[in-house]
A and B are shown apart, each in its own frame.
Chain A
Amino acid sequence: MVELLFWPALVAYGEAAVAYAGDARRPGAAGRLAIWGVRLGWLLQTALLIVQAARADGFPWATWAGSLNLFVWLVVSVYLVWGCRTRYRLLGLAVMPLVAVLLVLARLGGGTGDAGNSDYSTVFLVLHVGLLSLAFAAFTLAAALSGLYLWQESRLKGRRPGGLLGRAPSLLTLETLSARTIAVAVPALTVGIAAGLLRLRREGGGVDALMAVTFGAWLVYAAYLVLRYEAGWGGRRTAYLALVGFALVIVARVGLQLTHFS
């Protein structure tokens, strides 16, 4: 059953990635095909996750590959909220190939098959992992938005807008969406970290490097929100800050795979 759902989901995401590339060259029908690829892929992956959850004993995405599968789904979910609009198709060009590659990696690691037993059986841990995954997915989208902002800003600064006009979201929109995505993700990260710290306190143990990096990411994003909304920062500076935060997210994410799941 999971096989029947995984492969069509991967094909749909792959089709979306290819169609986005086609749409960038010649806008039109390819863009519509891409959007339907994203929607169909997401539905199929949702069904896959439901089947995995129904068959698992405990939290079904406890392995690194399983958590990557969940992470991919969360990225597409956040993207689906607004990413399918015509003006965000350039963003799909960056997001969908990444999604397809990560899903293949999840598959190679065995994260898309039937899950076995796991020790992630408490609601407490599920909350911790779930919220951190959600926050990381949102930060990934925010980083893609910031990257698109910087690319577009450099084109406008270089006075080479080219085919950009009318086909990409405006700078202000990109910046606002990035800030809003981070504003939603930071509370999720905060509660996720708090849940982890409470568990740590209850079960004993010290703060490791991975926790320090995650806390560092929280500090960067918290600073982003303060500087963006209170100090009037904007433009390139906030975009770079979002990318710095995302670099820490990558370190935390890779560290998580290496230390917790290997």
Chain B
Amino acid sequence: MNLTLVGLSHQATPIAVRERAFVPLPQAAELAAELAAEGEAVCLSTCNRTELYLVGDESERRALDALAAISGLPEDELRAVVYRLTDEAAALHLFRVAAGLDSMVPGEGEILGQVRSAFEAGSTGPVLDRLFRQALHGGKKVRAETAIAESPASVSSAAAALAQQVFGQLEGCRVMLVGAGHVAELAARSLAARGAQIAFVANRSPERAEALAARFGGTGVPLEGAAQRLAEIDVLVASTGAPGRAFGRAEVEGALRGRKGRPLFLIDLAVPRDLDPAIHELDGCFLYDIDDLESVVAASLAGRRREAGRAEAIVAEEADRFRDWQASREVVPAIASLRAWAEEIRAAELARARGRLGLSESQHAAVESVTAQIVNKLLHLPTVRLKEAAAGAEGGGYAQAVRHLFGLGDDDKR
């Protein structure tokens, strides 16, 4: 089959090198088309990896040349960071990548879409088509059958997931940001992506409040007036970092009276903290500070790593299936060639004998049937054994042996 993978990733390559080797999708398509002139090729390039999957002759050399040309790295430097895998090992690697098992955050979902894009932009033939389809199938299966992608992997996504655990769907949930810095924006993005409405932004600088609010379709309010909005919102994100508390327990307790039992979720991302920790003691109030969120993320990542074991088993199954398919690809043409060769001999010998023996139609039919049965019986056991070998790792070797012993050649190999 000659499947070859040459690539570099975050596992052993610093970002300074990875960014040089990064190939945007349109260029990845061009590169794949160029490399596929002698076979098949797919270029998978993300912020964490650039990998070339090739089928054909001298694949490794061509892939290394391509990577050297993209990154501009000297060959010895490049050789020190790239990995080279072939056949089963290359397939297993792609299956792990698609399942998110080779990602920085185990189970992250973005990679599956990136593998799909690379596949669609690639120049594939029977091998890479099968390989990438199976990788996508395996990646989806891992996410459906394990909890590897369920828990949050960053502080902002943990905050959003916790808010969802309190309110359910965040559509219709109103959010107030207190502080208009980068941290607040990140949290706001994560909440807005899940349907929450960024209703108010309060900040010491009204201009910055207005600017951030405008980005999310909200309203800028002065910091002094923020407490009056507490009854109107469901989620508060505080990140001013200014000395002193932005809200005390009494202010929040007062606002709760107007909420008719609806809970209030407060996220304090500031250091020093903006919100009085005693707020958390109020019924219906849930206050999480940066340490709390980080411990949620740590626990979540530990859970993802536990799930990774199950995901590895699924990926291994997919790799086995691919190996079987690969082996059958080599064995089936060998069987077909062997049978065609035997049939050719049988038909030729029968035609010659028919002229010599002067057989009638019925006698000829009987001899035809007998010779066909002899050929079938002779080939039955070798055929069964070849098919059995195809299910194991030695299928390719058997196929080659048959071709060699019977002088079948490689012409029929497809």
From A165, A166, A170, A233, contact of B261 by CB (8 A)? A233
CA distance A163 to B164 in the complex (A): 14
Contacts of B295 in A (CB 8 A): 159
Give the distance to chain B from A241, nearest Cβ to Cβ, in Å.
12
Q: A165–B152 contact, CB under 8 A?
A: yes
Interface residue ranges of A156-192 to B (CB < 8 Å):
156-157, 159, 161-173, 175
Contacts of A152 in B (CB 8 A): 165
A8 CB–B CB distance under 8 Å: no
Contacts of A159 in B (CB 8 A): 288, 292, 295-296
Contacts of A233 in B (CB 8 A): 261
Give the distance to chain A from B123, nearest Cβ to Cβ, in Å.
36
A26 CB–B CB distance under 8 Å: yes
Residue of B at shortest CB range from A237? B283
From B168, B260, B286, contact of A156 by CB (8 A)? B286
Contacts of B165 in A (CB 8 A): 152, 156, 161, 164-166, 168, 170-171
Contacts of B144 in A (CB 8 A): 28
From A29, A157, A234, A238, contact of B286 by CB (8 A)? A157
CA distance A173 to B165 in the complex (A): 9
Contacts of A232 in B (CB 8 A): 259-261
Residue among B167, B261, B262, B284 facing the most chain A CB atoms (10 A cut-off): B261
Q: Interface of chain B, helix or strand or loop or mixed?
A: helix
Count of interface residues, chain B, beta-carbon cutoff 8 Å: 31
Chain B 112-147 interface mask (CB, 8 Å, partner A; 1/0) = 000000000000000000000000000000001111
Contacts of A170 in B (CB 8 A): 164-168
CA distance A156 to B158 in the complex (A): 13
B162 CB–A CB distance under 8 Å: yes
Contacts of A165 in B (CB 8 A): 150-152, 161-162, 164-165, 296, 300
Contacts of B150 in A (CB 8 A): 27, 165-167
Additional A-B contact list (10), CB under 8 Å, known A165-B164, A166-B161: A28-B144, A159-B296, A164-B165, A165-B165, A173-B168, A228-B261, A232-B260, A235-B261, A235-B283, A238-B261
Complex A-B: 15 CB contacts under 8 Å: A26-B146, A26-B310, A28-B145, A28-B146, A29-B145, A156-B165, A161-B162, A165-B300, A166-B161, A167-B150, A169-B168, A172-B168, A175-B261, A232-B259, A234-B263
The 7 A-B pairs at the shortest CB distance, nearest first, are namely: A234-B261, A232-B260, A170-B168, A235-B284, A28-B145, A173-B168, A165-B161
